[in-house]
Amino acid sequence: MKKQLLFPALFLLLVSAFSISSCTKEPVTVKYGLSEVEVCLPADPYQAYHELTHVVQQSEIKAAVEAAGGKWDVSLIKKATMNNFKAVVTTNGVNLNDIATVEVYIKDDNTTGNGTQVAYSENIGDGATETTLKLNGTDLKEFLSKDHFTLLIRILNKENGNAPVCVTVKEGTMDLEVSSK
């Protein structure tokens, strides 16, 4: 008698477990493409940082999440990281030889200094006209609760200065993992 009740009970338990797991949805992955930002360095005989800021609106990220089928709620964001930055020379006949580093930071309006570094260049090759930036893997969820945040692009020329050059930081994306609960 106990065996007859045990098998139907186990069957119901397994069916319930499969039903519950099939009701839970996988997180939605959203790639939000950041705008290209161009920084033009004038001829400079001395080493110095050249900076440009770019504001990213929360409403734009919200629209990208909703277009991908996700629900916008900051508490549902499991992870947010930067990805795929490149620095490309946009001045004809010039390369990155006079550039020491390219750095990307994220900050909110109340942050002093540079903010949190999210990407940087490493070993720019001689004669190169573009370089892929290394990523720090910083989780950026805290910035998504604000109406907007700022990306700070910093370019440092080499010790002996630089010829005039424009560099575009592009192909950056913010990758968001959004829970579908």
- Write out pLDDT tens, residues 138-173: 999 999 999 999 999 999 999 999 999 999 999 999
Q: Report how far residue 52's alpha carbon sits from residue 31's, in angstroms, rounded to the nearest whole number.
A: 23
**CATH code assigned to 27-178:** 2.60.120
Q: pLDDT value at position 7?
A: 40
CA dihedral defined by 104, 105, 108, 110, rounded to 10 degrees? Answer: -130
How high is the pLDDT of residue 10? 34
| pLDDT for res 115 | 94
Domain extent listing, the chain: 27-178
Residue 158's SS3 state is strand
Task: Give this prediction's pTM.
Answer: 0.82
How large is the average pLDDT for residues 14-30?
A: 54
**pLDDT more than 90, % of the chain:** 74
Under 8 Å between Cβ of 151 and 106: yes
State the pLDDT at residue 61: 93
Contact 72, 91 (CB under 8 A): no
Q: What is the pLDDT of residue 26?
A: 80
